[in-house]
Amino acid sequence: MQKILLLVLLPLLALQPAGAQTRRSSDPAIREATGLIQAIMTEQRIPGISVTITRDGKTLWSEGFGFADLENQSPVIPGKTMFRIGSVSKPFSAAGLALLYEAGKVDLDAEVQAYVPYFPRKKYPVTVRQVAGHIAGIRHYRGQEFLSADRFPTVKESLSIFAGDTLLFEPGTKYSYSSYGWNLISAVIEGASKEDFLTYMQREVFDRLGMDHTAPDHTDSIIVGRTRYYAVNNKGNLVNAPYVDNSYKWAGGGFIATSDDVARFANAHMNPGFLKASTLETWTQSQHLKDGKATNYGIGWGSGKDGEGRPFVGHTGGSVGGITMMRIYPEEKLVIAILSNSSDVNYGKLTEQLATLFTK
């Protein structure tokens, strides 16, 4: 049974920043940003938030607010507290796919069975590019699947959730977001690399980028720095989030990370280096449907313009017990990473407000 945390005074909690600042507290941008975060924490009863903002590769601000563990009063520390990042796992996994693409081991326009021969063929051919861009017709969660507590020892076994289902539509004719599609992408990565997905991701992406506080959210492991997970129930009370096991969707929503690591990953995609310029363009530019309509989604990356008209690329992530925002503003050379440990968070205009403050 979920335990209601009656002793927590959220209005006070939100006034307790716990991490290290990288600009002086007298900085007006930090003062105003702190107020914005404190306000959203109080209004939405958020136990903890971690934020990291960089510009041109340099950290402007990195700070933790509130608590990673309410019962033990453990503070959020931006370089150490690891949150569920939900679908921000998709661009992480997309980086693994990109390295195989650059090595000539993945053809985006090949059918997925070229790498995953055990995945059943459908009425229409399905390509790697279509799956990665949510235009393949593979379904998303149904019913209570988002709350799955089942453990899946392998990527192949996780495909059993949806492998027998028909496509929702002819590939390329519609956009329909699918985390399960990224299960299939992780199987493509395994087939192309001849290696277990998590092992490959650790060595080729996380280790190469110095992401020392990023990991799969193994429920049977002790992970130092991992936050507790919370939610707000229908009575408005803060409770422990339901138990889930995210092994059913590592590539699409199963990783945990710090805000510093999310920002570090984003910065690696600001300029060529980790990936080639042409790959960055292919991965972040919008795909198009057969009728020419843009989807505002590339290969694991979303794109668009914010309320101020500034172009961005990035991804959001919704988890049981965590909501994440990762956004790159290429023209401003700005990266914003915001992570929280509650299921019930709506950042609203916070990201673009922070973008305005830190580009003045």
Give the helix/strand (H/E) hosting 262.
helix 259-267
Strand order in the sheet with 83-84: 83-84, 255-257, 214-216
The string of DSSP codes covering 92-132 is HHHHHHHHHHHTT---TTSBGGGT-TTSPP-SS--BHHHHH
* Nearest of 181, 157, 160 to residue 171 by alpha carbon: 181
Q: Is residue 6 one of the residues assigned to a domain? A: no
* Nearest of 62, 65, 60, 58 to residue 360 by alpha carbon: 60
The range of the structural domain enclosing residue 296 comes to 81-337
The answer to whether 132 touches 97, Cβ cutoff 8 Å, is yes
| pLDDT for res 25 | 63
Q: Is residue 286 one of the residues assigned to a domain? A: yes
Distance CA 110, CA 227 (A): 40
Chain-centre distance of CA 265, in angstroms? 11
Judging by beta carbons within 10 Å of its beta carbon (0-12, 13-18, 19+), is residue 319 exposed, middle or buried?
buried
Residues present in the chain in total: 360
| pLDDT for res 19 | 47
Task: Reduce the secondary structure of 126-195 to three states and give it as a string.
Answer: CEHHHHHCCCCCCCCCCCCHHHCCCCCCCHHHHHHHCCCCCCCCCCCCCCCCCHHHHHHHHHHHHHHHCC
Distance CA 238, CA 98 (A): 40
Q: Is residue 360 one of the residues assigned to a domain? A: no
Give the chain's count of helices (H) and strands (E).
11, 12
> Mind listing the pLDDT tens digit of every residue in the chain (360 residues)?
343 333 344 433 433 444 445 555 679 999 999 999 999 999 999 999 999 999 999 999 999 999 999 999 999 999 999 999 999 999 999 999 999 999 999 999 999 999 999 999 999 999 999 999 999 999 999 999 999 999 999 999 999 999 999 999 999 999 999 999 999 999 999 999 999 999 999 999 999 999 999 999 999 999 999 999 999 999 999 999 999 999 999 999 999 999 999 999 999 999 999 999 999 999 999 999 999 999 999 999 999 999 999 999 999 999 999 999 999 999 999 999 999 999 999 999 999 999 999 998
Give the CATH number of the domain where residue 242 resides.
3.40.710.10
Q: Is residue 300 one of the residues assigned to a domain? A: yes
Q: Is residue 50 one of the residues assigned to a domain? A: no
Q: Is residue 7 one of the residues assigned to a domain? A: no
Q: Is the pTM of this model over 0.85?
A: yes
| pLDDT for res 11 | 39
Distance CA 265, CA 85 (A): 13
DSSP lists the bridge partners of residue 111 as: 127
Distance CA 7, CA 213 (A): 30
Q: Is residue 102 one of the residues assigned to a domain? A: yes
As for how many domains the chain has, the answer is: 1
The answer to whether 30 touches 22, Cβ cutoff 8 Å, is no
Tokens of 32: 């105003």
